[in-house]
Each structure stands twice: as structure tokens, then as C-alpha cells.
Structure 1
Amino acid sequence: MYNLKQVTFNEILQYMKKIIFTLLLGSSIGVFGQNIPLHKIQVIGSHNSYKKAIDRKLYEYLLQEDENVSTLYYEHPAIETQLDLGLRNLEIDIWKDAEGNKYANPSGAEIAGKPFEWTKEMAEPGFKVFHMPDIDYQTHQPSFVKQLQALKAWSEQNPDHETIFITLELKDDKKDPSSKYHFEDIQEINRIIARELTDKHLITPRELKRTKNFVQWPTIDASCGKFVWIIDNTDYRLKLFDKIALEESSVFLNVPFEHPKSGCMIINNPYDDNIPEYADKGVIIRTRADDSTKQARNNDYTTFEQAKKSKAQIITTDYYVPSKLFPSTYKVIFDDNSYVRILP
């Protein structure tokens, strides 16, 4: 303990500065978030967050056909469980199913020898949440609308939660023209997000202030209880989203800094030299700590360490807890055992 009679004012000041600095670098955002813009946060989250593991029997069958199937052998608990753990980034994939039943009977279920649990739900029309037809089809929630409703319910039960960043990837099958997206599909996705989450729970592109050299986000404190959605597509689907007016868009686009809707980027390689440059301009960037189970199988933290110091604000992983599917102690978490911190 300091004895106030024996120390100078400058010594006390330096001591207080050390305390504040420690808090700023840690997960205790609290009152300090009131004046810190959101692009100064750093969070850890999950990749393909909805995903259950491929059934073991199906996995072993597929592995005999193609050893690369091992890259798909990972799993997550329910999204709400991940949020309870403290993760503040999610990834959701959706498939177009305008009439229903398109994905209700995956062929892999027959090989697995187990009935597909979501056949009834998959019979309904609407956008579906899963990874790959017939092979990697297991999911915690097949309905995009119901997943949004669950996210909103969790948010309202935890109204002071840090901002949750969600990347949304629109999946299609080049061999199946009916799976291709059209502008009306994109408009519907945009409307669904706005309708289910409402303005109360969204930060949208129109709220950002952009100058020639900077993108200004609201503060961390003002952003609590809200979601930021980022489209993880770079092809025709991105162009379709870009047709929606800035004032009407519910989602951010993975676009260059110079774009009038700039604010977010996806740069999966944490060694990319562009990350710190764009981060300093206020762009929120998603990168990866691991990929295709490689780092977890080798207990290799090199990529995660680079992601932490890259200035990317969102770090995604399949292993915020160690895998139960193969021997590994690999776990992506900050040094203070949290998944959220202020960027050092």
C-alpha cells in the first residue's frame, strides 16, 4: 500500500496511470468505453457458429473418399451458449429455399443411419442455416428467421452486452440455378434482419460518419446491446446488396475504404499489411486465428498471436474451447481469459 505521507503527487499520478492503462488493455471496458470508438475494440468469435459436428459414421465414410473432409470436423454449441461464454462475433451461412423441402432430406443422413432432426423445419419455405448440403448439414437452428429471433431474445435478456459482430455468407450451388440469388432475395434478407432485430438492436451503415481519411463509429458504450452485420461475399451477391440504398441497408458490406458504404472489411490473413492501415482509419476488420482445423491439430498459436497484434478488431476461430473431436489443447482466448478487450 502507498503511504500518502511518504509519496509525492507525481508518484500517485503515475500509479493511477498504470491502473487505468491496465484496465484499458484488459477486458474491463466499463466506463472507459464511453469515449472510445467501437473500432478500438477487439473480440474473439466463432466460424460457422451454427454448426454441429458431422455424424461420426458419416465422417469416417467420407474420410475414406477424401482426406480433406477432416477440415470440416469441428463443432460448436448453440449460439446462445457461445454468447453466454462471452464470444462477440458469430458467422451465419444461409441457403435460399423459396418453396421449402429443398434441403429436408440430406443423403448423408442415410449413410449416418440416423434420421435428420430438422426434416419438418426444412420443409418450410425460407432461408436455411447450415454449411453444406448432404455432407455438413447438421445445425443447431435451420431457420434464419428463428435464429434472428433467438439472437434478439438473448440480447434483450442481456441488454448491456458488448456489440456482437455477425458475418453473413449467402451460399449457393453453381450446379443448381434455383439456388442463385436475385435482387428480390437480397431485399428480403435485408428486410428480415431489419424486421426481426429492429433499429434498437442494429448499427447500420447510415449511422457512420465518413470523411476522406476516416470512418467514425459510435462509442463502445453507445453500441452496447446492438449487432453489426457484415456480408461475407465478394461476387454478384455483394453487388446485389450494394444496390440497396445506404439509408435502407441493414448490413455492412465487405468493400474498400473509398466506397461510400465503407466501414467493415474481411481480411482472413492476419499477416496482411493492409490491416493496420485500414484499422487506423476506423475500418472494422475480421480476420482468422485458425483455418480448416490445422492450428488446433498442431497446437499452433502463431496465427492467433499475429491476429491479436494485427489491429484487426474481430478474430474468428473454431476453438474458443478445445476440441472434443480429436486430441488438442488449442484454445483461442485473450491473456486475461476473456473474449473481449480494448485494442492494445
Structure 2
Amino acid sequence: MIGLVVSLALSLQLSDVACPVGVELNGPEGRAWDSLPLTALQTVGTHNSYKQAIPPAELAALLAQNPEVMALDYSHPPLSDQLDAGMRNLEIDIVHDPEGGRYATPLMPAMMAGQEGSAPYDATGMDAPGFKVLHIPDIDVRTSCPTLIACMSELRDWSLAHPDHAPIMVMFNAKTGGIDAPGATQALDFDREAFALLDAEFAEVFAPGHLIVPDEVRGDHATLREGVEAGGWPTLGEARGRILLVLDERGAKVDAYRGEAASLEGRMMFTLSESIEADHAAIFILNDPIEDRQMIAHAALSGFLVRTRADANTMEARTGDASRRDAAFEMGAHWISTDYPQPRSEWSAYQVRLPDDLVVRCNPMTTIPAP
């Protein structure tokens, strides 16, 4: 690993940004370092941040059909509690529901109703038109905020109450399809109209200036990528109390969202960058910090922002394997998401936190230690 880092350092122009090791950059105590660029930061967040646990009876029934369902055995507290605990990256899965009610009666809770270890399904808000938040229609549907408006309103309110917070990045998966079962609900496709409605919901929640948007980073440059390469990211001070939204999708969904706006002109969200040369390149989502380690370091050293995952499918927590987590920190990802900001103690002591329990620290790849 050291050889790879040295090779990358020699092949790219390393930042001369000096940043204090072991200093908290989040909150008012970090204000002395407000001139740092966003690329100088590193922090932790959560994967599928809205997700509540599948009730024991439902999980057991699903496991009996497919042992791989064990990958769904994780959950998170409400978004505000996660933000209080220092999470600065959230992930939200959304489904399109323009008429309302499409996802209000999921199969698994109805099938298991009344059985020991089951739990009633709360369909509050599910009948109204608008985007809903859930993991897998019919089987993994319990969330701490069932609608996008509810999730974003909770985030907005927390942010306004904590104006010194380091910027929060929120990723969105636009879910389509569903399970193969009689009576199952298939999530609707996302076309240009759906994405226009999505941006409209964001605009309904967030006041102008609360979001860091692609137009701000692009500035007067012809493309978003050129804006990034010219240092268009706001400083930490300029980004405090603010939020970035990112569409974590590829192919037809991203094409539908961008439309004719190759650099995301007028859009509320950034999109997953497909290459460093792309006009829209700004934020990379590289989920495996071991397989993607070279690209993570290269993108970070090139001035792009990077999110990766420290764990997946509950495996690291079950085995205690910290290799992905440690690689994510070392290779310079800016946001490192996990299902385990706290350990699952019945399995192992595995968890993902920054050293010294910092919320935001200096990125070890993109900065040099301050004297």
C-alpha cells in the first residue's frame, strides 16, 4: 500500500494545503481552519441512513427462503440522532409515487401480521403523492422518515439549528423494479418528468443558498469539471451549515436527470462522475476502497470529492475485518459510509469512527501536516 501511495504522489501534483493533525474541523471549534478547501476534509457517514430493522418474524421468513437476506440485518436511528453523533454523509433510497398510495400496503408486513415477532406497518404519509423512502418494496420497507419531504425537512431543521456544521453530503438511489412474487409492487421508472419533480421537492424544502449546487462550483467555467479543476469548491467556511445532494445512479437514469445539461446547469444534485474527463465530473462514488483504491487516491489528489464504503452486506461486522475501513481512510476518500458507527457487539467490535472520535479531520491524502 505504501508503494502505491508514493507512486501516486510522484505522478500527481500533491496539495500544499497544510492542515492540523488531530484537530476537530466540525463545529465552532474548527472555525480557525475555515480557509481550507472541501478537498482537505475527511469524515464518516451512514449507508441507507433511513433504514429501520426488519422485524424478527419477517427476517426469519425471508432468511428461510434465501440466506443472503442476512445482508439486510442492519438498521439506523433517526437522521437527527445520526447527525448528532457526527455523521456527515447520508444515503436515501427513493421511489417514485406521483399519485400516492403505491407503496402503502407492502406484502411482507401484511403476510406476517399478528405473528409473534412481527410488527404493524405504519403507513403514515404513504397515501399522499410524492417520493417515498424505502429499501426494497414489499420486504424491506420500514424507515425512520417514510417520505422524501419528511427526510429532507428533518435534515434541513437539524442543519439550521447547527449552523457551524461541516457540509453534509446526501446521496440518492432512484429505485426501480421490485421482487418477483405474486401481488408484488414494482417501483416506477425515473424519467425526465420524475426527476423534475424530484428537484421540485428539494426546492420546496431548502431555501436558496442552503444547498451547494453544481452551478456554484462551475462558476464562469464552461464545464463543471473545469470549475472543479480551477478550485471551484467552496472553502470549509463557505460550506458550513450547507448540504450537497448527489444522484448515485448510472446510465439511463443519469441521462434522464442531466438531459441537455451536460454540466448539470440548473440542477439541484451532482451526479456520480463517470470519468475524470467528463464534463459533469465533480464527485466520485467508488464503493470498494480495496479494489478502487488507486482511483480513489487519484480522484482525491486531482481535486474531486470521493465517497466510499467501509463495509457491505454486514460482513465486516460479522467477521471484525477492518481492511476496507482502513483502506478507505488511508486512500483519501472524503466521505466514508458504514452501517456501523457503533459496533454490533454480539458479532464483533467492528465500527467506523475517525481517530480520537473526531467528526471531521484533515484528509491524510490531500493535505500535509500543519507545522
Both structures adopt the same fold (TM-score exceeding 0.5): yes
Q: Is the 8 A contact 2:25 2:166 kept in 1?
A: no
Partner AA of 2:363 in structure 1? L
The percentage of counterpart residues that share the same residue type is: 33
Distance (whole Å) between structure 2 residues aligned to residue 49 and residue 155 of structure 1 = 16
Cross-structure match for 2:63? 63
Is residue 2:300 matched to residue 1:284?
no
Partner AA of 2:63 in structure 1? L
Per-residue deviation, 1:341: 1.0
Distance (whole Å) between structure 2 residues aligned to residue 102 and residue 247 of structure 1 = 32
Q: Is the 8 A contact 2:217 2:227 kept in 1?
A: no
Cross-structure match for 1:240? 256
Distance (whole Å) between structure 2 residues aligned to residue 321 and residue 261 of structure 1 = 35
Distance (whole Å) between structure 1 residues aligned to residue 313 and residue 335 of structure 2 = 18
Per-residue deviation, 1:44: 0.4
Q: Is the 8 A contact 1:162 1:226 kept in 2?
A: yes
Distance (whole Å) between structure 1 residues aligned to residue 255 and residue 24 of structure 2 = 37
Q: Is the 8 A contact 1:25 1:343 kept in 2?
A: no
Distance (whole Å) between structure 2 residues aligned to residue 291 and residue 335 of structure 1 = 21
SS at 1:126's partner residue?
Answer: coil
Partner AA of 2:259 in structure 1? K
**Runs of 4+ with >6 A deviation:** 174-178
SS at 2:316's partner residue?
Answer: helix
Cross-structure match for 2:226? 211
**Partner residue of 1:340 out of 356, 360, 368:** 360
Per-residue deviation, 1:73: 0.2
Partner AA of 2:74 in structure 1? Y
Is residue 2:207 matched to residue 1:198?
yes
Provide Cα deviations, 1:59-89, integer angstroms capped at 9, x if missing partner: 0111111100000000000011000001100
TM-score of the superposed pair, with normalisation by structure 1 = 0.88
Cross-structure match for 1:94? 94
Cross-structure match for 2:83? 83
SS at 1:238's partner residue?
Answer: helix
Cross-structure match for 1:51? 51
Per-residue deviation, 1:178: 6.5
SS at 1:154's partner residue?
Answer: helix
SS at 1:200's partner residue?
Answer: coil
Is residue 2:24 matched to residue 1:27?
yes
Is residue 2:308 matched to residue 1:308?
no
Provide Cα deviations, 1:275-311, integer angstroms capped at 9, x if missing partner: 1111112111110100000000011111100000111
SS at 2:53's partner residue?
Answer: coil
SS at 2:197's partner residue?
Answer: helix
**Partner residue of 2:138 out of 116, 134, 138:** 134
Distance (whole Å) between structure 1 residues aligned to residue 44 and residue 122 of structure 2 = 29
Point out the more displaced range, 159-168 or 334-343: 334-343
Partner AA of 1:240 in structure 2? A
Cross-structure match for 1:15? none
Cross-structure match for 2:271? 253
Q: Is the 8 A contact 2:246 2:270 kept in 1?
A: yes
Point out the more displaced range, 299-308 or 252-261: 252-261
Q: Is the 8 A contact 1:102 1:123 kept in 2?
A: yes
Structure 1 unaligned runs (5+)?
A: 1-20
Per-residue deviation, 1:222: 1.1
Distance (whole Å) between structure 2 residues aligned to residue 123 and residue 212 of structure 1 = 42
Rate the CA distance shift 1:139–1:103 in 2: closer, same or farther, 3 A: same
Is residue 2:198 matched to residue 1:189?
yes
Point out the more displaced range, 244-253 or 168-177: 168-177
Structure 2 unaligned runs (5+)?
A: 1-17, 219-224, 365-371
Partner AA of 2:358 in structure 1? S
Q: How many pairs align?
A: 324
Q: Is the 8 A contact 1:87 1:340 kept in 2?
A: no
Per-residue deviation, 1:342: 1.3
Rate the CA distance shift 1:179–1:36 in 2: closer, same or farther, 3 A: same
Q: Is the 8 A contact 2:282 2:304 kept in 1?
A: yes
Partner AA of 1:136 in structure 2? D
Provide Cα deviations, 1:38-68, integer angstroms capped at 9, x if missing partner: 0111110000000001111110111111100
Cross-structure match for 2:175? 171
CA RMSD of aligned residues (A): 2.1
SS at 1:211's partner residue?
Answer: helix
Q: Is the 8 A contact 1:167 1:229 kept in 2?
A: yes
SS at 1:230's partner residue?
Answer: strand
